[in-house]
A and B are shown apart, each in its own frame.
Chain A
Amino acid sequence: MSLEIALSGLKRYRLRTALSLFGLAIGVGCVLVTVAIGSGAHRSIQDQIRAAGLNVILVKAGNYKSRGDETIEVQAPHARLAPLFDRILKALSPDVLAHPENDPMEKHDHPTAAERLGDAEAGLGAAATLTQEDADAIADLPGVADVASGVHENAKVFAGERRWFTRLHGTDVDLPRIRRAHALSAGRFFSEHELRRAEQVVVLGSVVRDKLFAPEADPVGEEVTLWNQSFRVVGVTGSANWMTPGAVGDDEFDAVYVPFTAVHRLLNVTNLNTITVTAESTGEVSKVAAAVTELLRARHRIADTAPDDFTVVTQASEVLTKGLHPNVARVLAGNLPNLERVTLEELSMTLERSSRTMMALLVSIALVSLLVGGIGIGNVMLLSVTERTREIGVRLSVGARARDVGTQFFLEALLLGAVGGVAGVVLGIAFSRIVSESFGWTTSLSPGVVVVSYGIAVAIGVVAGFFPARRAAGLDPIEALRYE
């Protein structure tokens, strides 16, 4: 009965009902869209920071910083004996690291990769002092999460008439786990099986994909040509983050990824240019980096006084030593374990602070939107208060109790809030979708946010619609009838 009265009340004032619903829907919609965009941005900043690779350690072959004249302090207890060991080991296995084509600048007495493959660029830049065995040994170190071997080349990639000169990364199946900023937009990464069999499969970076294939084409399953060899495309990798899309020459998305074993087989080399390592925890990066250094020095039988024949770079050291003279940088890097702890702590504090600021910003924007929505609804409701107070007077005069009138207006307001809220939620979600699809912005809406804004919409409806009416219902009928 009360519901019937409430519905007929809403029906009688169609325009006002529509306006209230509209106001509520816009209010709730606005809140949801701002929160969606805001928390999307928040999340993508966090992703970006995480993706920046705070826990990544890059081991590069060769050591271009030191020219061998610097002294490196190594606190090994066997320091004095090491040169002796070194000499003995070298004597026992003189060519343990040698491989026919590991140095492309060397004169060879056999056809080189470039000659065999008929591609002048093949095999250039493959100079390397790291091996897969090094990578396997690193993987066994404590605190190491993932290890990916890397062989890096430049290569022309052909797809039909189109071609593109890009970076070629021979790599490991672990790479997607290390590169958090990557997201496969099509297909998959190559498999362990394909890696073991050195199959000619390739994952295209998004930039390469765009250069080689029409936007509507599906490159997965297509063949591309590298070094005059046919490679099957198994996937496309792009940026997981709308704020850092791939760009020409960026080495990540303007690149192709193939199993490093395939590169080894085709170029007839065995060595690696890089080994990418991730530490299990960000706080242990320096410790792991030091362990890697020690391990590789031992494996490469480097004398205590001799410089590394590889370079270990951590994100932190790279940031901290950027632009410094190599000597200064080395001193700095030597003290990195302490420095890093401080930096990381500061960084995480900064992160937390900035995300708190972001959240505060979000919440205030959302509150303002709600306030605007609420004022809109309140106005529509209050504008009609004269008319409705007279209605209340009429109802009271024919025998309605204050309670009956209260129930009627409560139900009217509740219905408005509920329906308007649903419309707002639908509107908000739809608009967030549109925003994320047409601008490529990350948006994120948690169910909690939806529920809370819905609840607030209903509450606003009830407050704006019900309380003035309840006050009027408490009047003597004649006062309500006389209200102007």
Chain B
Amino acid sequence: MAKISVLDLKKTYAVGEVQVEALRGVSLEIEDGEFVAVIGPSGSGKSTLMHILGCLDRPTSGRYLLGEKDVSEISPDERASLRNRQIGFVFQSFNLLPRTPAVENVELPLLYNGGRLSRSQRRSRALEMLASLGLSDRALHRPNQLSGGQQQRVAIARALVNSPGLLLADEPTGNLDSQTSREIMDLFRRLNAERGLTLVVITHERNIAECASRIIELRDGRVESDGPVGAA
């Protein structure tokens, strides 16, 4: 069963008077449990693709099936629910809530999953998640008291706290030094291997992309190449 299946995805932005075609017809399939890297120069449409895959944005045309569900047609609330339960998203700029302790940032998705968890359950889930990422001693630190790598791990903890099947990461190492980048990619590989998490990671660095098992290269809004690591 294909976890992700997109067909002829197009996205056009209006930037002022100019229409920018970010995606010009992308079709691809990503299987359950795959670890895919998406590479390409800036402007190639990889972030746009990622936002659509993460239900953060809607395509102008084309179809997007997540599992067996056609996601391009569903209501905003249903998309919110997908973002909450089935998709974890990691941003380049972390997007943690400022002035908010790490643990509360991690709890955030739990606040919107239908209120099934009590306050203490939410707190312990978030703390567990932080602990599994080696951040137990940073739980009460605010984002501005954490290093870039720590902030990104808090963001990953937040993305994973509702146990989604799909983790999308948009340039997760873009703001990190190479040592920290390697640690984050190792973490992704471990999550993929140990939990069977489907991972899609955007990067523009070839060596980071090679941590994945499959590389999709985009150029000018189209898929230029698609194949397992080492094939290209």
**Which residues of A come within 8 Å of B, CB atoms?**
1, 4-5, 8, 12-13, 387, 390-391, 393-404, 476-479, 481
Is residue B57 within 8 Å, beta carbon to beta carbon, of the partner chain?
yes
Task: Find the residue from A4, A393, A403, A476 having the highest chain B CB count within 10 A.
Answer: A476
Asked if A394 contacts B96 (CB within 8 A), the reply is: yes
Say whether B81 faces chain A, with CB atoms less than 8 Å apart.
yes
Kindly list chain A residues whose C-beta atoms are within 8 Å of the C-beta of B119. Answer: 4
Q: Are B109 and A399 within 8 A (Cβ)?
A: yes
Interfacial chain A residues near B108, Cβ < 8 Å: 394-395, 398
B112 touches A395 (CB 8 A): yes
- Distance (whole angstroms) from the CB of A474 to the closest CB of chain B: 8
Is B95 touching A394 in the complex (CB atoms < 8 A)? Answer: yes
Partner of B56, one of A391, A400, A403, A477: A477
Q: List 20 A-B contacts (CB under 8 A).
A: A1-B115, A13-B99, A390-B95, A394-B95, A394-B108, A396-B80, A396-B83, A397-B91, A398-B83, A398-B84, A398-B112, A398-B158, A399-B85, A399-B112, A400-B84, A400-B111, A401-B76, A402-B76, A477-B57, A481-B91
6 tightest A-B contacts by CB? A399-B84, A398-B109, A478-B56, A401-B80, A477-B56, A399-B83
Contact yes or no, A399 B56, CB < 8 A = no
In the complex, the answer to whether B96 meets A5 with C-beta atoms within 8 Å is no
A400, closest chain B residue (CB): B112
Q: How many residues of B contact A (CB 8 A)?
A: 31
Q: Could you tell me the dominant secondary structure of chain A's interface residues? A: helix
Measuring CB to CB, which residues of chain B are less than 8 angstroms from any residue of chain A? Answer: 51, 54, 56-58, 76-77, 80-85, 89, 91, 95-100, 104, 108-109, 111-113, 115, 119, 158, 162
Question: How far apart are the CA atoms of A422 and B108 in the complex, in Å?
Answer: 32
For B158, the chain A residues whose CB sits under 8 A away are 398
List residues of chain B with CB within 8 A of the CB of A393. Answer: 95
Q: Give bound CA distance, A387 to B113, whole Å.
A: 24
Partner of A387, one of B82, B91, B98: B98
Whether B97 lies near A477 (C-beta < 8 A) is: no
Which of B109, B111, B162 touches A1 (beta carbons < 8 Å)? Answer: B111
A476, B56: Cα distance in complex, Å = 6
Name the CB-closest residue of B to A12: B99
Q: Which residues of B contact A398 (CB under 8 A)?
A: 83-84, 89, 108-109, 112, 158
With A8-B104, A476-B56: A401-B112 Cβ-Cβ less than 8 Å: yes
C-alpha gap A286/B226 in the complex (Å): 109
Known: A394-B97, A477-B56. 7 other contacts (CB 8 A): A391-B97, A396-B80, A397-B89, A398-B83, A398-B158, A477-B83, A481-B95
Q: How far is the CB of A60 from chain B (nearest CB, A)?
A: 81
CA distance A31 to B89 in the complex (A): 49
CB-defined contacts of A404 to chain B, threshold 8 Å: 112
A397 with B81, Cβ < 8 A, contacts A12-B99, A402-B76, A478-B51 known: no
Using CB atoms, name the residue of chain A closest to B108.
A398
Task: Give the complex CA separation of A159 and B88 in angstroms.
Answer: 91
Question: Measured between alpha carbons, how far is A391 from B104 in the docked complex, in Å?
Answer: 13
Residues of A contacting B81 in the complex (Cβ-Cβ under 8 angstroms): 399, 401
Complex Cα–Cα for A402 and B78 (A):
11
Are A12 and B56 in touch, CB under 8 angstroms? no
Residues of A within 8 A of B82 (CB): 399
Q: Is the CB of A5 within 8 A of B76?
A: no
Contacts of A400 in B (CB 8 A): 80, 84, 111-112
